[in-house]
Structure formats: C-alpha cells, structure tokens
C-alpha cells in the first residue's frame, strides 16, 4: 500500500494561475477488488453544506461509496462512516460546520470505530486544517475539492493504519472525467460544465478553494446530457461558478451561448444554468434563451451591489449601467423571464448612500428573489485587508431593509400569475400535507397544488389560485 503522508493546503499556492495546460484525466479513479468490499455491512452518513457544486460533489462521493459497498443511513447514530462536505463562503457557514463537528464527538466516544471524514471547500484553507488538527481530534480523514477520487485510498489508509489521513492539494486543478455518480433526484440533474473560477472578486474565497477555471470538453457535457435524457431526466442545470466564461480556457469565444444551443438541441424538457456573471454575459445569450423553448425563462444574475464604487472595490468588472442594460434586453426579448440575484450588504466602507443605490437597483429590477448576505471577511482574500468598518447592527439593519424591499417585489411579481396557468415539474408530495404536491414552474416559482393522477417527474399544468411572496398555490387542470 502506498504511504499517504499528511498533505496540507496553502492559500498562497491556491492563488497561483499559470499557463500550464489543463489535463483531462479519464482513468484516475480505480477500485481494487478489496476496495470494492471495504464498505460491506457498513453504513455511511453524509451531510452536505453550501452550494450546488457541493451537492454535485456529494453525488460523486455517494457514487464512490456505493461502488465500495457502503449503504446509506439518514441516522448518524447508526453510521460507521460520517462525511461532512463543507462550505467556506462565509464565516457563519464555517461556524455551523465546526459546531456540528463538535457535537458529533460524542458518537466517537460511544463507538471509537466510527470513521469521521471532512471534505469540501473549508478544508482547502490552512486555518481550518490547523483548527481540525489542534482541536477536533475526532476527525480522522480530510480530503479536499481536488481529490474526491482518492476517497477509497484515503479510507483504506485510515482503516489500516488508524493514522489521521489528511490529503488536501492546493493546485490549479485538472478535469477528472468518469467518476461514479449517484444522483439524488430522478428527474432533475446537475451537470458540471466547468470547475473553479478565475474572477477573484475581492471578497470571495472560491477561486482559492476550487482552483483555476477548467472547462469540460463540450462533447463530454453533451454526452452526459444525452445519457440523462435517455434515463428519463426532465430537467438539467448546467453548473459552473461563472458559466458565461465557459470555454475561455479552451480557446472558445462566447462558448457558453454555443454550448447552450447545442444542449438545447438534445431536447431535454428543461434546461437551467447557474451561476451567471454580468461581466461575461454575452448579448447573444438573449437570443439563445428566447429562441429555445426548453431553456427556462429564469436567470440568476448576481449583482452584489447597486453602487459603482462598491462594485469596483469588489473587483466585479462591470457597472450598474451594464447590469441594467442586460436586464432591459432580457426583459424586452423575454417578457415573462424571472430574475434572481445575490447581494452583499456592509462591504467595507459601504456608506448609507451607497447602500441606498442597491435599494434603487432593486426598485429598478424588481427581482423575483434575492439571496442577500452580510459581508464576511475571508482570510487570504484582498478584501480581508480592508478594514471591516461597518458594525454588525448596521449590517443587520441593511440586510433587513433590503430583504423587505425584495419581498415586496417578490409578492408583486407573483400577483401576475393569479388565475393563470403555469407548467410545473412535479417534485413530489409536500412535506406538510399529503394531499398537496409541489414543484417548480418554468420561471422557477415554487408551486403547491392539488389534483388527481399526479406523479413525481410529470410536467403538469396548474391554475394558480393563491399568491404568497415566495410561492403560489393552485390546482392541476384537466
């Protein structure tokens, strides 16, 4: 067996971007016969924090565990293997994970044989690793975002040696194809189109935790979508930190618009994508979304701030005027398009007036939904060197004010659906009421509805009878 030493991350190395070509590996992952049996009669419990990229990584982790004969449990008390796939985007995400790692210490006390692994973005930061090494001795295995395919070998190493096994690489990253996947949903699938990010927005840790932008080859993406269609999937979401720059690293120009057109031709019922970036969003996208009925009329376009000076300090590379221009063009071409966005309040030096510019932008765009965050300094990012000079009370008040403004438009936007028919992809029965089904409309509105002969995965027509701020109620017609 190979000797796995402790390999620790470094944010300094993670920052590097060279011209080194991106390697595509197709046979990096392999399981020996003994690894295929390692999980026999053992149960795993997996907890996923954070964004869709993490959700998709967890599907790979489960695919690997399945091939190793582990079975799943939703009760961590009966697990032989615990895995936490973590998020580092904001301080509160990190604190939540540490709190929960702390709580599960008692499981180890009860059963010292339990194996505890932590992976994902958080462990790409050296401060996290130091904390785990010094304080959280219950963690046995740590692996990063670049070496999920190594999980079998790391597990085997720990089980055989009982030595803490920490392997985290701070590298630009490769594209690793052909990893197993166990999809969590039978009708909706995530499809990675690229990994990493080169934008280095000044507040953001992602370019450090996920490495350089690496696009998957178009053919690999299209093959995956075709396979999903054959398997009966109704909806796919193309995933990347900045989908609009898809293909730049492959020498493509306007690669994402081209990719979308090709994906649309496969005729899967619903195509979504996330996350878009106003800087790289090409205007050809307006026509591509308009001309392809299976590209859903919904766009998540993070603006972050409605003030140009703050956008400049954030290193976002666009102005409020550009954002509005994209918004106007899309609304004009696709009148029923729904919009959501991300916004940060309390970025260093943000004045009350600058914050009010964000409120004004919300008045202009009348977003259907927004994720609003309090700025959280991330060690190693350029903004962490700015003085975080807005007190928490002020930040919280801005958060609340902005949330209220967004809710007002959320409700107003939903009003126009009253007595109208929307198409809903059925997710299943509502958790609260057995008679009620739920799913999302093409515009990504959550719809709860009643009716007969409804199956998960169907696309049904629902007459909207009641409006709420963040959802709508209705009845299936015919």
Q: From the CB of 7, what's the least distance to ligand SF4, in Å?
A: 25
Q: Which stretch binds ligand SF4 (CB under 6 A): 178-186, 201-209, 360-368, 426-434?
A: 201-209
- Strands 24-25 vs 175-176: parallel, antiparallel or unpaired: parallel
Which partner in ligand 5AD, ligand SF4, none is near 354 (CB below 5 to 8 A by kind)? none
Which of ligand 5AD, ligand SF4, none binds 89 (CB below 5-8 Å, type-dependent)?
Answer: ligand 5AD
Cα separation, 10 vs 171, in Å, equals: 9
Helices marked H in 379-427 — which ranges? Answer: 392-415
Count the site residues for ligand 5AD by CB under 6 A. Answer: 12
Q: Which two tokens stand for residue 72?
A: 């799943």
Place of tokens 């008679």: 435
Q: Rounded CA gap, 90 and 106, in Å?
A: 27
Give the pair of three-digit tokens for residue 17.
């971007």
CB under 5 to 8 A by kind: which of ligand 5AD, ligand SF4, none does 114 bind?
Answer: none
339 binds, among ligand SF4, ligand 5AD, none (CB under 5 to 8 A by kind): none
Q: How far is residue 368's CA from residue 445's CA, in Å, rounded to a whole number?
A: 9
Which residue, 199 or 360, has its beta carbon nearer to ligand SF4? 199
Is residue 204 part of the contact set for ligand SF4 (CB under 6 A)?
Answer: yes
Question: Taking CB under 6 A as the rule, does residue 272 contact ligand 5AD?
Answer: no
- Gyration radius of the chain over CA positions: 23
**Is there binding between residue 342 and ligand 5AD (CB under 6 A)?**
yes
304 is an interface residue for ligand 5AD by CB under 6 A: yes
Residue 252 Cβ vs ligand SF4, minimum distance, rounded to whole Å:
18
At its nearest, how many Å lie between ligand SF4 and the CB of residue 15?
A: 12
Q: Which of 254, 240, 238 is nearest to 288 (CA)?
A: 254
Stretch that binds ligand 5AD, among 59-67, 287-295, 370-378, 405-413 (CB under 6 A): 370-378
Looking at the Cβ atoms of 89 and 142, the one nearer to ligand 5AD is 89
**DSSP letter (8 states) at residue 254:** S
Binding partner selected for residue 355 from ligand SF4, ligand 5AD, none, CB under the kind-specific 5 to 8 Å limit: none
Q: CA nearest 264: which of 232, 289, 297?
A: 289
Q: What is the chain's length?
A: 478
| DSSP for residue 128 | H
Q: 55 vs 177, which CB is nearer to ligand 5AD?
A: 55
Q: 235-239 and 188-192: which strand pairing?
A: parallel
Residue 162: exposed, middle, or buried by beta-carbon count in 10 A (0-12, 13-18, 19+)? exposed
Tell me how far, at minimum, the Cβ of 23 lies from ligand 5AD, in Å: 28
In whole angstroms, how close is the CB of 58 to ligand SF4 at the nearest point? Answer: 19
For residue 229, how many C-alpha atoms fall within 13 Å in the half-sphere facing its CB?
16
| Contact map string, positions 53 to 92, toward ligand 5AD, x by CB under 6 A | ------------------------------------xx--
DSSP character string of 324-336: HHHHHHHHHH-TT
**Options 98, 136, 184, 200; binder of ligand SF4; rule CB under 6 A:** 200
378 binds ligand 5AD (CB under 6 A): yes
**Which x/- pattern over 258-277 shows residues binding ligand SF4 (rule: CB under 6 A)?**
-------------------x
Residue range at the interface with ligand SF4 (CB under 6 A); choices 195-203, 282-290, 343-351, 405-413: 195-203
Instruction: Report how far residue 131's alpha carbon sits from residue 137's, in angstroms, rounded to the nearest whole number.
Output: 9
Q: Binding partner of residue 153 among ligand 5AD, ligand SF4, none, CB under 5 to 8 Å per kind? A: none
Q: List the interface residues with ligand SF4, window 207-226 (CB under 6 A).
A: 207
- Smallest gap, in angstroms, from Cβ of residue 207 to ligand SF4? 5
Which residue among 53, 119, 206, 228 contacts ligand SF4 (CB under 6 A)?
206
Output 122 or 201, the one with its CB closest to ligand SF4: 201
Q: Is the dihedral of CA 303, 308, 311, 316 positive or negative?
A: positive
Nearest to 63 by CA among 99, 29, 87: 29
User: Which window, 109-117, 138-146, 202-210, 433-441, contacts ligand SF4 (CB under 6 A)?
Assistant: 202-210
Beta pairing class for 421-429 and 437-441: antiparallel
Residue among 270, 273, 271 nearest 281 (CA):
273
Is 96 a residue that touches ligand SF4 (CB under 6 A)? no
**E-only strand ranges, 61-131:** 71-72, 81-86, 115-120
Nearest-approach distance from CB 93 to ligand SF4, in angstroms: 14
d(CA 460, CA 365): 29
203 binds ligand 5AD, rule: CB under 6 A: yes
The set of residues, in sequence order, having a beta carbon less than 8 Å from that of 112 and lying 6+ positions away, is none
User: Hey, what long-range contacts does 392-400 have (CB within 8 A, 24 or more apart)?
Assistant: 394/346, 395/345, 395/346, 398/345, 398/346, 398/355, 399/345, 399/346, 399/372, 399/373, 399/374
Among 213, 245, 376, 441, binds ligand 5AD (CB under 6 A): 376
**With binding defined as CB under 6 A, does residue 241 bind ligand 5AD?**
no
- Which tokens is 409 given? 């438009």
Q: Which residue in 412, 478, 419, 422 sits closest to 446, CA to CA?
A: 422
Residues of this chain that bind ligand SF4 (CB under 6 A): 197, 199-201, 204, 206-207, 241-242, 277
Residues of this chain that bind ligand 5AD (CB under 6 A): 89-90, 203-204, 302, 304, 342, 344, 373, 375-376, 378
């Amino acid at each position: 067996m190979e000797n796995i030493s402790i390999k620790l991350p470094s944010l300094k190395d993670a920052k590097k971007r060279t011209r080194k070509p991106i390697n595509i590996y197709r046979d990096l992952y392999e399981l020996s016969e003994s690894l295929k049996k390692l999980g026999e009669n053992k149960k795993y419990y997996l907890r996923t924090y954070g964004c869709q990229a993490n959700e998709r990584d967890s599907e790979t982790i489960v695919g690997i565990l399945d091939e190793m004969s582990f079975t799943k449990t939703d009760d961590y008390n009966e697990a032989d293997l615990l895995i936490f796939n973590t998020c580092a985007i904001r301080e509160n995400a990190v604190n939540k994970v540490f709190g929960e790692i702390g709580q599960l210490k008692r499981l180890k006390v009860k059963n010292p044989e339990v194996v505890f692994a932590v992976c994902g973005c958080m462990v790409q930061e050296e401060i996290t690793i130091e904390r785990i090494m010094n304080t959280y001795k219950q963690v046995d295995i740590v692996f990063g975002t670049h070496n999920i395919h190594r999980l079998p070998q790391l597990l085997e190493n720990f089980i055989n040696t009982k030595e803490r096994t920490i392997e985290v690489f701070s590298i630009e990253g490769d594209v690793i194809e052909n990893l197993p996947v166990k999809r969590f949903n039978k009708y909706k699938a995530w499809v990675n189109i690229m990994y990493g990010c080169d934008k280095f927005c000044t507040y953001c840790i992602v370019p450090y935790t996920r490495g350089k932008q690496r696009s998957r080859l178009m053919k690999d993406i299209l093959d995956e979508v075709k396979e999903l269609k054959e398997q009966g999937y109704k909806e796919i979401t193309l995933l990347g930190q900045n989908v609009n720059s898809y293909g730049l690293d492959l020498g493509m120009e306007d690669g994402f618009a081209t990719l979308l057109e090709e994906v649309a031709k496969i005729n899967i019922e619903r195509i979504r994508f996330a996350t878009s970036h106003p800087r790289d969003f090409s205007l050809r996208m307006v026509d591509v979304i308009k001309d392809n009925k299976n590209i859903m009329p919904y766009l998540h376009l993070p603006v972050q701030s409605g003030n140009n000076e703050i956008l400049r300090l954030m290193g976002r590379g666009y102005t409020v005027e550009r954002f509005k221009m994209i918004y106007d063009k899309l609304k004009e071409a696709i009148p029923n398009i729904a919009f959501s966005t991300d916004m940060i309040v309390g970025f260093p030096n943000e004045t009350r007036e600058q914050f009010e510019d964000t409120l004004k932008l919300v008045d202009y765009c009348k977003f259907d939904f927004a994720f609003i965050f309090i700025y959280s300094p991330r060690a190693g990012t350029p903004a962490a060197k700015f003085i975080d000079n807005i007190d928490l009370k002020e930040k919280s008040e801005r958060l609340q004010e902005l949330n209220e403004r967004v809710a007002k438009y959320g409700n107003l936007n939903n009003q126009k659906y009253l007595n109208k028919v929307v198409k809903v992809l059925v997710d299943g029965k509502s958790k609260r009421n057995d008679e009620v089904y739920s799913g999302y409309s093409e515009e990504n509105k959550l719809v709860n509805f009643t009716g007969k002969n409804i199956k998960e995965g169907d696309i049904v027509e629902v007459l909207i009878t009641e409006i709420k701020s963040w959802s709508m109620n209705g009845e299936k017609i015919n």
